[in-house]
Amino acid sequence: CARDLIGDEPFAVLLPDELLWNPASPCLAQMTKTYEAKGGNVIAVLEVPEAHTDRFGIVDPGLIEGAVTEVKGLIEKPKGKAPSRLAAVGRYILQPEVMDLLGKGERGAGNEIQLTDAMAKLIGVQPFHAQTFDGMRHDCGDKAGFIQANIALALERPDIAGEVRAFIAGL
């Protein structure tokens, strides 16, 4: 749907069900530094427990340089042994060629058109790296995670933290 807005320019995707919080160094700022240094495609990742790898797109890692990992492959919600515990967490800087791949309408996991599958086809064709996010992740696609995110951020605000703490203590 956004193809005409993007044209031939790189673009960022920020999925709304993930809140990645680091006010001192936002996720997209961390990714932009990697993009400026490496070019190509950059995704944000976090290390997840092995038992949760089937919930995410997982990176098949290559060369690791600090918080930046070369992406040799991406597997959407792997069944069985995952190639790593580096999970894509809903922030991407992508090249416009991914739109052509999505436009083919090929279906993947859940019989859905998967952005992860289209991105995987760019690996080896364009530079592709994962930036391990330095910050807090909240899964706002989960009802409890949404509430937890709101509470966590409310507790960081001096103007309402006291009221929120008192409310929680009263429960």
Q: What is the CATH number of the domain that holds 105?
A: 3.90.550.10
Q: How many CB atoms lie within 10 A of CB 2?
A: 8
Strands (E), the chain: 11-14, 18-21, 41-47, 57-65, 68-76, 86-94, 128-132, 136-139
Residues 57 and 7 in one domain: yes
Residues 130 and 166 in one domain: no
Query: Could you tell me the pLDDT band of residue 144, with boundaries at 50, 70 and 90?
Result: very high
Residues 28 and 96 in one domain: yes
Q: What does the pLDDT look like over 29-75, one tens digit per residue? A: 999 999 999 999 999 999 999 999 999 989 999 999 999 999 999 98
Query: Could you tell me the pLDDT band of residue 2, with boundaries at 50, 70 and 90?
Result: confident
Query: Could you tell me the pLDDT band of residue 116, with boundaries at 50, 70 and 90?
Result: confident
Residues 135 and 147 in one domain: no
Task: Specify the pLDDT at position 109.
Answer: 66
Answer for the pair 25, 134: CB distance below 8 angstroms, yes or no: yes
Q: How many CB atoms lie within 10 A of CB 91?
A: 22
Indicate the burial class of 58 (C-beta count within 10 angstroms; 0-12, 13-18, 19 or more).
buried
Backbone φ, ψ for residue 28 (5° rounding) = -65, -30
Residues 67 and 51 in one domain: yes
Q: What is the mean pLDDT of residues 94-103?
A: 93
Task: Specify the pLDDT at position 115.
Answer: 85
Residues 32 and 58 in one domain: yes
Residues 163 and 118 in one domain: no
**Which residue range is the domain that position 133 belongs to?**
2-139
